[in-house]
Amino acid sequence: MTYDEAIKRLEEIVQSMEEGEALGIDEYKQKAKEAKQLIKFCQQQLTGLETEMKEALQ
């Protein structure tokens, strides 16, 4: 998965929740869990990029 794919999926999850999509508790929990994993992935990607940029500038 790429950073852009993760962001797109996060946007889809947020949009479905904002639109008031009828979700059961299990579906809601699953979407929340997926969103948490996607956020963690994106943070790792950004941290990795920051590290690479710092190393390139040294």
Identify the pLDDT of residue 9: 97
Q: Summarize pLDDT for 21-55 with one digit per residue, the tens.
A: 777 889 889 999 999 999 999 999 999 999 999 99
Q: What's the CA gap between 19 and 35, in Å, rounded?
A: 16
Kindly calculate the radius of gyration of the chain based on its CA atoms and give it in whole angstroms. 15
By the 10 Å C-beta count (0-12 exposed, 13-18 middle, 19+ buried), 13 is classed as middle
Q: Is the pLDDT of residue 20 over 80?
A: no
Q: What's the CA gap between 52 and 56, in Å, rounded?
A: 6
Quick check: 31 and 22 in contact, CB under 8 A? no
Q: Is the pLDDT of residue 17 over 90?
A: no
Identify the pLDDT of residue 30: 92
Identify the pLDDT of residue 23: 74
